[in-house]
Amino acid sequence: MKEKYPLFQVMGKDGKWQDQTYEKELNEAKVKSLYYHMLRIRTYDQKGVALQRQGRIGTYVPFAGQEAAQVGSALALGEEDWMFPTYRDHGASLAFGADLDMMLLHWNGRIEGCLPSRKKHIMPASIPIATHLPHATGAAMAETYKGSKNATIAYFGDGATSEGDFHEGLNIASVFKAPVVFFNQNNGYAISLPVEKQMNSETIAQKAEAYGIPGIRVDGMDVLAVYIAVQQALDKAKRGEGPTLIEAVTMRFGAHTTADDPSKYRNQDEINQKREVVDPLIRIEKHMKGRHIWDSAWQSSLSEEIGEELDNAISRMENYQKPVVSDMFDYVFEKPTWTIAKQRQQIISRGGRG
Amino acid sequence: MVMSKELAKTGEKVKTNSFNMIQAINDGLKTVLEKDKRTLLLGEDIGKNGGVFRATDGLQTKFGEQRVMDTPLSEAGFVGTAVGMALNGLKPIVEIQFLGFIYPAFEQIATHVTRTRTRTLGHYHMPMVIRAPYGAGVRSPEIHSDSVEAFFAHMPGIKVVCPSTAYDAKGLLLAAVEDPDPVLFLEPMRLYRGKRYEVPVEEYHIELGKGTMVAQGGDVSIFAWGAMMPIALEAAENMKQQAISCDVIDLRSLYPLDKEIIANSVQKTGRVVIIHEGHETGGIGSEIISIINETSFLYLKAPIEKVTGFDVPVPLFALENDYLPTTDRIEQAILKVYEF
Ligand SMILES: Cc1ncc(C[n+]2csc(CCOP(=O)(O)OP(=O)(O)O)c2C)c(N)n1
């Protein structure tokens, strides 16, 4: 199956062109923007892990290793397209335009963290695995119904392909030719379970065959390849040719979450060694150097700018107004039922911070 | 030390380990795997990883991959698989990683796990245990904090139990595995690594359907279970300063409820406070009130008070302590029924 679904690469591991067809499209400005977003979410991710360790936020879900997959896919989206991410795809959400402050509040256990971006159609992270795949299908069908040319993208991991909702979301999308891209990040593990024990299929892309839709396997450490693959799938969807399943082969460098101890189920030293070789940020840097579009002064100023942006956002998170107790009651229905009104009253009258 | 009655009755010295709840569950699972070849464990990350809370730590190494199975990420799939196993002579013990992720398996439970005995007129039955950590208060991400025991207590054909101590956890787990019918075994996450108890090495059972009186008093009856027990006890303790004494009853079994223990206490005190962290409407508290109505209506001296979670999705952790019952809310309720 690996021959049938070859790994699509635009640059090799050394960063050199593997496929120069897309050179024009992947011009200096585009590549720099891809790099900027990868650096930004990497820095954000490192801060996230650190904040959790210092007890300044709750459980955090790191995505280091998956920056190319998340940024490449997010930047391929059109302004009006819809994104359905999981808990691990906050990098993609940020790259697409999610509000950084809200994202941080989410890790701080704040309901405000689920507030959608005001600029883009970005759903709050889906926590129950694979449940949002049918949503992406439905939102895509609604775009078709409304006669627009917009598409949707659903993010999910290798483990998610084992849930019924994966099958149901893909099948319905294929039957109705919904303009949706199912973007799988195969990072090798679902918590402790390696992908070889998750499924007996050699690739995830091949699962597309069962639904009669295209399946693409892309090097998820190659941000250029991911960008191109997702863009092509979106174009196809927007032409009315239906859904695509994309498998981005990537790696989760760190723990599943900050509550996880990966040494229980894998050799983390090995991962750390491998990480240095496959790091998607190093790869794009090499590529840029090869094309003489790398400028270290530019890089340091980006890095500084990002650091400052994040530090400011973190301080805003920590100084954010206290949680509002009535928030938990006020949005269950448009108008509260008497039950909720009574309960709300009970707690507010007891000095709840309503 | 809370030396439970079951233990004292034997009169002999029993060999025990000092365990917290997660260790007691691990020990209980080990006991059943050793004893009964028909038992096996299924679930996500329970093998090599030993479970996200380490409930199954070391069990795959000891019993092998055939008996401690890391399943694909597929609750409907592995609960359904467990149905097939149970039909065919095995006794599967399934772990749902968090109760909030049981929903994909809801169909299997509602339409097969619970009905097989009835629809085959007893020809087939479902000796199956479904374990699930539940509850708020540990700063978990969204959906990880649900307390929806009432869904299952409402479902005909499955028993529901929920220990609040390490001792009860092992005894109830062994009884659940022994039971010929399906049992949902709820584990209060918040108490996993709490207090240690003397847990017998030997097998012992706590009868399903029986509550236990944890503190005795004459004025007010408090009914609670699981993660609410420590605060129920704390509130009862605090009320002593106002010369109010409470029966504190850990119901442990949510379906069926222990009608006798409820009636006996209410007929003594005539005043009742019920505590649960699940949502108020359709909660098990209403069922308890119904039992009181049926058995002890004329003994009541005050309207019954409930201190429960609200009819709202369990909020993200910044507000979870506002969602959860607190000692303060319980004390107010006790005062209210006392002073009525
Ligand atoms: C329905 C459901 N079951 C279980 C979980 C607990 N859980 C959270 S993440 C995870 C593994 C997911 O693996 P994968 O789909 O590969 O995505 P990754 O976390 O690697 O990004 C599990 C089992 C959940 N969130 N939802």
Cα torsion A294, A298, A304, A307: sign = negative
Q: Ligand 1: does its nearest atom lie under 6 Å from the Cβ of A88?
A: yes
- Catalogue the E-assigned strands of chain B: 16-19, 39-43, 68-70, 91-95, 129-134, 159-161, 183-188, 197-200, 212-215, 220-224, 246-250, 253-255, 272-279, 305-309
Instruction: Report the nearest atom of ligand 1 relative to the CA of B104.
Output: 1
Confidence of residue B1 (pLDDT cuts 50, 70, 90): very low
3-state helix, strand, coil in chain A (%, to 5): 50, 10, 40
Q: Ligand 1: does its nearest atom lie under 6 Å from the Cβ of A35?
A: no
The whole-number pLDDT of residue B11 equals: 60
Is A260 in Cβ contact with B52 (below 8 Å)? yes
| Sheet-wide strand order for B68-70 | B68-70, B39-43, B91-95, B129-134, B183-188, B159-161, B253-255
* pLDDT lower than 70: segments of chain A: 352-354
Report CA A241 to chain centroid distance, whole Å.
Answer: 24
Q: CB of A129 within 8 Å of any CB in chain B?
A: yes
Task: Yes or no: say if A86 and A257 are a contact pair by the CB < 8 Å rule.
Answer: no
The whole-number pLDDT of residue A182 equals: 99
SS3 label, residue A131: coil
Angstroms from A313 CA to nearest CA on chain B: 18
In chain A, the residue whose alpha carbon lies closest to the alpha carbon of B318 is: A109
Q: Which of A106, A128, A264 sits opposite B50 (nearest CB)?
A: A264
Phi, psi of A97 (to 5 degrees): 135, 15
Q: CB of A162 within 8 Å of any CB in chain B?
A: yes
Query: Look-up: residue for tokens 């009320």?
Result: B239
Cα(A121)–Cα(B104) distance, integer angstroms: 27
For B94-127, the pLDDT digits (tens) are 999 999 999 999 999 999 999 999 999 999 999 9
In chain B, the residue whose alpha carbon lies closest to the alpha carbon of A353 is: B322
Structure tokens at A162: 């084992």
Q: Is residue B213 scored above 60 in pLDDT?
A: yes
Q: Report in angstroms the alpha-carbon separations of A58 from A44, A104, A110, A346, B187.
A: 15, 10, 10, 28, 22
A252 is catalytic: yes
A121 is catalytic: no
> Mutate which of B54, B316, B323, B328 to test chain A, going by most A C-beta atoms within 10 A?
B316
SS3 label, residue A109: coil
Q: Which domains does chain B have, with CATH numbers?
A: 7-200 (3.40.50.970), 212-338 (3.40.50.920)
Q: Which of B112, B125, B144, B279 is catalytic?
A: B144
Nearest alpha carbon, ligand 1 atom 4:
B101
| ipTM value for the complex | 0.95
Task: Yes or no: say if B99 and B132 are a contact pair by the CB < 8 Å rule.
Answer: yes
Q: Which domains does chain A have, with CATH numbers?
A: 7-322 (3.40.50.970), 324-354 (no CATH)
Q: Ligand 1: does its nearest atom lie under 6 Å from the Cβ of A92?
A: no
Nearest to A346 by CA among B336, B93, B42: B336
A189 is catalytic: no
CA atoms within 13 A on the CB side of A8: 22
Q: CB of A204 within 8 Å of any CB in chain B?
A: no
Query: Look-up: residue for tokens 């009608």?
Result: B259
Q: Is residue B2 scored above 50 in pLDDT?
A: no
Task: Yes or no: say if A155 and A61 are a contact pair by the CB < 8 Å rule.
Answer: no
Q: Ligand 1: does its nearest atom lie under 6 Å from the Cβ of A127?
A: yes
Structure tokens at A6: 């070859």
Is A193 in Cβ contact with B73 (below 8 Å)? yes
The whole-number pLDDT of residue A115 equals: 83
Task: Yes or no: say if A48 and A62 are a contact pair by the CB < 8 Å rule.
Answer: yes
Q: Is residue B8 scored above 70 in pLDDT?
A: no
Q: Which of A59, A192, A328 sits opposite B319 (nearest CB)?
A: A328
Mean pLDDT score of chain B:
96
Q: Which of B45, B70, B74 sits opposite A163 (nearest CB)?
A: B74
Structure tokens at B189: 């996450």
SS3 label, residue B136: coil
The whole-number pLDDT of residue A354 equals: 46
Q: Is residue B289 scored above 90 in pLDDT?
A: yes
Cα B292 to ligand 1 centre (Å) = 43
Q: Ligand 1: does its nearest atom lie under 6 Å from the Cβ of A69?
A: no
Nearest to A84 by CA among A53, A35, A123, A56: A123
Cβ-proximal residues to B11 (8 Å cutoff; 6+ apart), any chain = none
**Set of chain B residues whose Cβ sits within 8 Å of the Cβ of A162:** 72-74, 77
By residue count, chain B amounts to 340
Phi, psi of B141 (to 5 degrees): -65, 175
Cα(A261)–Cα(A85) distance, integer angstroms: 24
Cα(B77)–Cα(A162) distance, integer angstroms: 8
Task: Yes or no: say if B226 and B250 are a contact pair by the CB < 8 Å rule.
Answer: no
Instruction: Report the nearest atom of ligand 1 relative to the CA of A156.
Output: 15
CA atoms within 13 A on the CB side of A343: 26
Mean pLDDT score of chain A:
96
Mutate to test the pocket of ligand 1, among B75, B95, B99, B101 (most ligand atoms within 8 A of CB): B101
Report CA A31 to chain centroid distance, whole Å.
Answer: 19
Lowest mean pLDDT among B11-25, B28-42, B164-178: B11-25
Nearest alpha carbon, ligand 1 atom 18:
A157
What number is the average pLDDT over the span B190-203?
A: 96
Cα A179 to ligand 1 centre (Å) = 25
Q: What is the pTM of this model?
A: 0.96
Cβ-proximal residues to A253 (8 Å cutoff; 6+ apart), any chain = A62, A64, A65, A271, A272, A275
For chain A, the first-to-last Cα distance in angstroms comes to 58
Give the angle B63-B69-B70 at the CA atoms, nearest 5°. 130
Structure tokens at A193: 């379970």
Phi-psi region of A233 (alpha: psi -120 to 50; beta: other; left: phi over 0): alpha
Radius of gyration of chain A (CA): 21
Cα(B96)–Cα(B44) distance, integer angstroms: 7
Cα B192 to ligand 1 centre (Å) = 22
Q: CB of B323 within 8 Å of any CB in chain A?
A: yes
**Set of chain A residues whose Cβ sits within 8 Å of the Cβ of B58:** none
Angstroms from B13 CA to nearest CA on chain A: 38
Cα torsion B246, B252, B254, B256: sign = negative
Task: Yes or no: say if B317 and A58 are a contact pair by the CB < 8 Å rule.
Answer: yes
Cα B213 to ligand 1 centre (Å) = 39
**Set of chain A residues whose Cβ sits within 8 Å of the Cβ of B139:** 58-59, 109
Q: Which of B45, B311, B320 sits opposite A193 (nearest CB)?
A: B45
Cα(B99)–Cα(B109) distance, integer angstroms: 13
Cα(A166)–Cα(A4) distance, integer angstroms: 22
CA atoms within 13 A on the CB side of A312: 7
Query: Residue B29 CB: number of other CB atoms within 10 A?
Result: 28
Task: Yes or no: say if A249 and A219 are a contact pair by the CB < 8 Å rule.
Answer: yes
Beta bridge partner(s), residue A69: none
Instruction: Report the nearest atom of ligand 1 relative to the CA of A88.
Output: 21
DSSP A30-85: HHHHHHHHHHHHHHHHHHHHHHHHTTSSS-----TT-HHHHHHHHHHS-TT-EEE-
Beta bridge partner(s), residue B200: B16
Q: Is residue B5 scored above 80 in pLDDT?
A: no
CA atoms within 13 A on the CB side of B249: 26
